[in-house]
Chain A
Amino acid sequence: MTATPLAVQTENACRHYTMGHSLIRAVDGISLEIRSGEYVALLGVSGSGKSSLLNLIAGLDRPTSGTILADGKDLAKLSREDLSKYRLHTVGMVFQSFNLIPGMTVLENVELPLRFAEVDRSKRAGLATEALSRVGLSGRLNHRPSELSGGEQQRASLARALINHPTMLLADEPTGNLDSRTGTEIMEFIREFNRSLGMTVIMVTHERPLAERYAHRLIFLEDGKLIQEQANPGAAAKGDS
């Protein structure tokens, strides 16, 4: 296990910001290591700092102090340009509210990261269609997001997250807006990507049972601090059942 390279390593990472006159310590000195190919769940009540930590790992935000090493780079030291490249090629993200662009069709939404990556126009439709069929949406290519169910929208956003073949999938409450049946469906897709594509998965959730069922390791946060880490060797066995 120890020979596996690290996907993410944070050292005393802090994200503080001021709101009015008070200092908010959203992330307050977290040090952790996530190995490549690992499936980790970040747990905690709302306001515990789990989403803030995820944003730091995603390169959407920068730590006020400490280091975050991902893909061998210190994210705090990357330029804005390099940070956007990191988000484009290394990270795929899914959100609780799906975040599909309403004016675009499903296919166009999934193609969007390919445009940013300057993938040849002729190859794009093929790649996007392939990604969409992987999540079972081949019949919905030209629908607008508003014409899809919540589960379908989240599947589309999963396809979008995978389109540039990132090594890491960051999921922020991916089932938060879904009923339990479609939520399970999404979780199965994520586990499938973790297993077959070897993607590192970091999932933020406040549902402990969900985390226990799928994640290899549970990390508990409270008030921006890491309070407990717990290995969950049973996840693989549970998934297979």
Chain B
Amino acid sequence: MKIYDVTELALRNLRESLLRNSLTTVGISVGVASLVAMLSLGIGLQQLASRRLAKSGLFDTVIVTSRRDGRDFNRDQNAEGPPPAESPSLDEAARKQIEQLPAVAEAYPDIRFITELRYQDKPHVTMIAGLPASAKNNDAFEGMPGHYFSDDNAREIILQKSFAAELLGSQRNSEDVDVTKLATPLLGKELVMRYAERTANSGSSSAYSVVSREQTLKIVGVSDLDPDSMRGPTRARVFLPLALAQSLHVMQPADLRDAASRPGNSPTFLTVSVRVKSPAEIGSVESSIKKMGFNTFSIVDATKSMGRFFAVLDLFLGIFGSLALTVASIGIVNTLVMAILERRREIGIMKALGASDGDVKLLFFAEAGAMGLLGGAVGVALGWTIGRIINFGMNIYLKQQHFPPEQIWFVPWWLVLGSIAFALVVSLLSGLYPASRAAKLDPVQALRYE
């Protein structure tokens, strides 16, 4: 029989026992839907986690330090490469060289200093750091009260929540305070930063002076999270636009270290932050920078173990989803075996008229396949809807908890096509036994059957 005849007859037979075949198809749909919903949530969670981690800046950043620091983070690392005295300085030239490396998105100097800020004539001392324009995408600034710096030279600052609490004289632990309550009285207010400026002495290339200066800055945002968490004890609580911070020529700790070897007006940096284009390239970027004679630091292994965790999670979700499909496939076997009993005589007639075993087998196979294909398609739509509803419900909950909405559910194309194909294969496998049983039916017996 030709394929279109098989298809046409199969669909006609499915319509004949509409209720039973519909229920079987619904069974498959539910199986596929649970598979799709489970996997789409697994994939969505994985994407959410990697998106969050990428935004945290923890997994695409390499921190570069000079060996001249004499700091002793990692003895093995310090044992390799040139001795500190012969290693290069971490200055603007080195920064540019690092930025030229292929997988590097950006390399910016770390301007970081402890200084005094006066708010309403009351002094406060804290760590201040410069932030590049790209840090705008950091999740610490997502949904933040106020806004990110209007440009890279704006005389604006963003406060970390704990410092905002300090400015307002709050004695309570800032963790418990709602950030919007802290931001409301502070946004748009000004404070004065007092700092030590390094200026080149005119007429001398072997000396520089340190001059005390003041700068008025406007508060534009208060961040709830800690944008600088990777820095541990040296993390800042007040942030400036990076270009502004550089133009102020604030005296840096590294200036002291290199005071004798690098006089004049060209500063060296304590650290340079390197953002790589993808976390996968961190290793190669690190080794290239090490070859240049610097020390590096990054958090890479966490992403690898996270990937492993999600592979296991997806596997388990997939197994649970497939269980429902297994139950559904038993439904197909049952439906088709029933159909053989019911259509015994019809099968006998077809054989008497010249249908081959193959024709009969193909017909039952096509019926199983059609139910699988339809069930698969409906199931994907159903699973997609279930995923959406779960996502929607979760966002209502997140909103109640004052969190920004999240997408924890994602249905990629391969999941759509894969699920339909899986449903089809499972259905065809379920049709194997009924189809061969129908094909082997003895026509004489079948025709005698009333």
Residues of A participating in the B interface, judged by any CB pair closer than 8 Å: 55, 58, 60-61, 80-81, 84-85, 87-89, 93, 95, 99-101, 103-104, 112-113, 115-118, 121, 160, 164
Contacts and interface: CB of A to CB of B under 8 A. Distances in A.
A101 to B, nearest CB: 6
B429 interface: no
B358 interface: yes
B447 interface: yes
Interface string B431-444: 00000000000111
Contacts of A117: 354
Given A55-B444, A61-B444, A112 B357 contact: no
B353 A88 contact: yes
Interface string B1-34: 1101100010011001000000000000000000
B352 A87 contact: yes
B21 to A, nearest CB: 13
A170 to B, nearest CB: 10
Given A60-B443, A101-B346, A116 B357 contact: no
Interface string B348-374: 111111111111000000000000000
Interface string B324-365: 000000000000000000000110111111111111000000
B351 A85 contact: no
Given A61-B444, A101-B346, A118-B1, A113 B354 contact: yes
Nearest to B359: A116
Nearest to A120: B2
Contacts of B9: 115
Given A60-B444, A85-B354, 5 more contacts: A61-B442, A87-B354, A88-B354, A103-B16, A164-B354
B2 A118 contact: yes
Interface string B228-264: 0000000000000000000000000000000000000
Contact of B353 (A81, A116, A121): A116
A116 B355 contact: yes
Contact of B357 (A60, A81, A164): A81
Contacts of A100: 349
Contact of A89 (B12, B354, B359, B447): B354
A99 B447 contact: yes
A88 to B, nearest CB: 3
Nearest to A83: B356
A112 B352 contact: no
Contact of A160 (B12, B345, B351, B353): B353
A189 to B, nearest CB: 19
Contacts of A99: 345, 348-349, 352, 447
A107 to B, nearest CB: 13
B1 A58 contact: no
A146 to B, nearest CB: 14
Interface string B138-161: 000000000000000000000000
For the complex of A and B, the 6 pairs showing the least CB-CB separation, nearest first, are A88-B354, A84-B356, A87-B354, A115-B5, A113-B353, A60-B443
B354 A121 contact: no
Given A55-B444, A95-B447, A99-B447, A84 B4 contact: no
B346 A116 contact: no
A118 B443 CA distance: 21
Contact of A81 (B12, B349, B352, B358): B358
A161 to B, nearest CB: 9
Given A55-B444, A80-B357, A84-B357, A60 B352 contact: yes
Contacts of B356: 80-81, 84-85, 116
A81 B4 CA distance: 21
25 contacts: A55-B444, A58-B352, A81-B356, A81-B358, A85-B356, A87-B352, A87-B353, A87-B354, A88-B354, A88-B355, A89-B354, A93-B353, A99-B348, A99-B352, A100-B349, A103-B12, A113-B354, A115-B2, A115-B9, A116-B359, A118-B2, A118-B5, A121-B4, A160-B353, A164-B354
A61 B352 CA distance: 10
B54 to A, nearest CB: 57
A95 B349 CA distance: 10
Interface in B283-316: none
A89 B4 CA distance: 21
A68 B351 CA distance: 20
B289 to A, nearest CB: 71
A112 to B, nearest CB: 6
A100 B158 CA distance: 85
A81 B439 CA distance: 11
A45 to B, nearest CB: 18
A112 B1 CA distance: 10
Contacts of B5: 115, 118, 121
Contacts of B357: 80-81, 84
Contacts of B348: 99
B1 A115 contact: yes
Given A85-B356, A116-B356, A60 B351 contact: yes
B349 A101 contact: yes
B2 A84 contact: no
B217 to A, nearest CB: 82
A100 B345 CA distance: 10
Interface string B119-130: 000000000000
B336 to A, nearest CB: 17
Nearest to A114: B5
A88 B145 CA distance: 82
A104 B12 CA distance: 9
A114 to B, nearest CB: 9
Given A101-B346, A101-B349, A84 B16 contact: no
A224 to B, nearest CB: 15
Contacts of A112: 350, 353
Contacts of B358: 81
- Residue in A85, A103, A160 whose Cβ sees the most chain B Cβ within 10 Å: A103
A39 B165 CA distance: 111
B10 to A, nearest CB: 12
B292 to A, nearest CB: 74
Contacts of A89: 354
Contacts of A85: 354, 356
